Amino acid sequence: MTAVILQILFSSLVTAGMWLYAPDASRTDLEALYAGPPSSFVEADGVRVHLRDTGKRDEPVIIMLHGFGASLHTWEAWAQVLSAEYRVIRFDLPGFGLTGADPTGDYTDARAEAVLAALMDRLRVQRAILIGNSMGGRIAWSFAASHPARVTRLVLISPDGFASAGIPYGQAMGVPMTARLLPYVLPTPLLRANLAPAYGDPQRLTEEVLIRYRDMILAPGVRDAVLARMEQDALEDPVPVLRRLNLPVLLLWGEKDGIIPISNAADYLAALPDARLVALPGLGHVPQEESPAEALQPVKKFLAR
């Protein structure tokens, strides 16, 4: 009897595994869906970078850096508006989207900064305004501190950088055992549950956006890169770095951010020499997706100063 039960259980597990198994998507198919004009691919410090470079070539340059698990598509609504007055560059950071894996296997912030600097050189951009969301915000302020001559101002949207209570600086959090299943499975309901806290109103997470996130995570090499980034990601005390930023900074934060709470803004305001906060009522961690027009208004005013 026991042997029969074990056989049924084993068969059920195999069937469930076959149902949940999610292989990498075809790069050819993904590029056909998500890399049409104005997308292009350029080499920067050994990485094939997926980017979109639009707007006026003789106007100030804006470079947009997306958050963890996202892609350049998170900026599409903003880029369409800002391209009327600026040159707007957005790209998939190494390890994400159609840029995919970094051949070096290095997913530290220092490596991301090196690729950003190389990309600016490749595109002949000497100085730029950086707009960064979450992880992209952390990369933006860190790059501005290490390359002060190349950044004119910052827009930080719910930026990452301060460790949560009980988590020490200088120590990577590691990868939970359940997360190690990521290269093999990606149930859409589970992905929706993980993305929902990023929205003040989860009903605004459309099926189209959910499928785009899923497709970008299924891009070849991305899931392994995500795990590598988690293994390498060790936060350092941001205060000494932030205090060196002698440039205007706009902090933009959704009041209903379920990923990085708006209470973290106080830490940034205390450390940054020239920063102001705009809180967005009812919005969450990705206001540029959830309510693009509303969230863009304070950014346009800040850039026009």
Question: Letter for the amino acid at 135?
Answer: M
Q: Please tell me the predicted confidence (pLDDT) of residue 203.
A: 94
Q: List, as one string, the DSSP characters of the chain.
A: -HHHHHHHHHHHHHHHHHHHB-PPPPHHHHHHHH--TTEEEEEETTEEEEEEEEE-TTS-EEEEE--TT--GGGGHHHHHHHTTTSEEEEEPPTTSTTT---TT---SHHHHHHHHHHHHHHTT---EEEEEETHHHHHHHHHHHH-GGGEEEEEEES---SPPTT--TT------GGGGGTTTB--HHHHHHHHGGGSSSGGGS-HHHHHHHHHHHTSTTHHHHHHHHHHH------HHHHTT--S-EEEEEETT-SSS-GGGHHHHHHH-SSEEEEEETT--S-HHHHSHHHHHHHHHHHHH-
**What is the pTM assigned to this prediction?**
0.92
Q: What is the pLDDT along the chain (305 residues), one digit of tens a residue?
A: 344 333 433 343 334 444 578 999 999 999 999 999 999 999 999 999 999 999 999 999 999 999 999 999 999 999 999 999 999 999 999 999 999 999 999 999 999 999 999 999 999 999 999 999 999 999 999 999 999 999 999 999 999 999 887 788 888 777 887 788 888 888 899 899 999 999 999 999 999 999 999 999 999 999 999 999 999 988 899 999 999 999 999 999 999 999 999 999 999 999 999 999 999 999 999 999 999 999 999 999 999 98
Sheet holding 249-254, edge to edge: 39-44, 47-55, 87-91, 61-65, 128-133, 151-157, 249-254, 275-280
Question: Which whole-number Å values give the CA distances from 295 to 3, 13, 37, 75, 191, in the listed order?
Answer: 60, 46, 26, 12, 25
**Residue linked to tokens 């980017």:** 51
> Exposed, middle or buried by CB within 10 Å (0-12, 13-18, 19+), for 241?
middle
Q: Please tell me the predicted confidence (pLDDT) of residue 20.
A: 73
Q: Please tell me the predicted confidence (pLDDT) of residue 174.
A: 75
Task: Convert the pLDDT of each residue in 155-197 to its tens digit.
Answer: 999 999 998 877 888 887 778 877 888 888 888 998 999 999 9
Length of the chain equals 305
The reply to whether CATH 3.40.1350.10 applies to domain 28-304 is no
- Domain residue ranges of the chain, discontinuous segments joined by +: 28-304
Q: Please tell me the predicted confidence (pLDDT) of residue 234.
A: 85
